[in-house]
Amino acid sequence: MVRAFDETVIDTWGVEEALRRISAEHRSAIVQTHLRGHPHAEVAAELGVAVGTLRSRVFYGLKALRLAMEEMGVQP
């Protein structure tokens, strides 16, 4: 159980580190919509972009995140 907890902490840290390694635009799109759960329309307005642009950033941000995690050896 302790090891499982440790691994969870390491995995969480790995994901946070991977998020820091992707571009600011991609990171912001994922953090605001997914981690903070803000509505897309609200986030898009705050960033001054169209909702479609935000969704595109979420898509390419997730692809970049997956790549960063793979490069770090963190299991997606």
Partner 1 sequence: MTDGHRSIRELLGSYALGHLDGPEQITVAAHLDTCVACRTELAELTPLAARPTGVDADRVEGTPGPPPELADRVLDRVRAERRATRHVPRRDVLVAAAAVVVAGAVGFALGTTRDGVPLEPVAVQALDPDLVAQANLVPHTWGMEIKLDGAGFDPGAVYRVTVRDEQGREVDAGEFLGTGPNELHCNLNSSVLRDAAAGFTVLDDEGAVVLAAQLR
**Structure tokens of 63?**
């692809």
Q: Is the dihedral of CA 46, 40, 75, 13 positive or negative?
A: positive
The label of the residue with tokens 């941000």 reads 61
**At closest approach, how far in Å is the CB of 18 from partner 1?**
9
Q: Of the candidates 2, 3, 1, 49, which has an alpha carbon nearest to the alpha carbon of residue 26?
A: 49
**Judged by CB, which is closer to partner 1: 15, or 47?**
15
**At closest approach, how far in Å is the CB of 50 from partner 1?**
12
- Footprint of partner 1 (CB under 8 A): 3-4, 7-8, 10, 12, 14-17, 19-21, 27-28, 31, 33-37, 39-40, 52, 55-56, 58-63, 65-66, 72-76
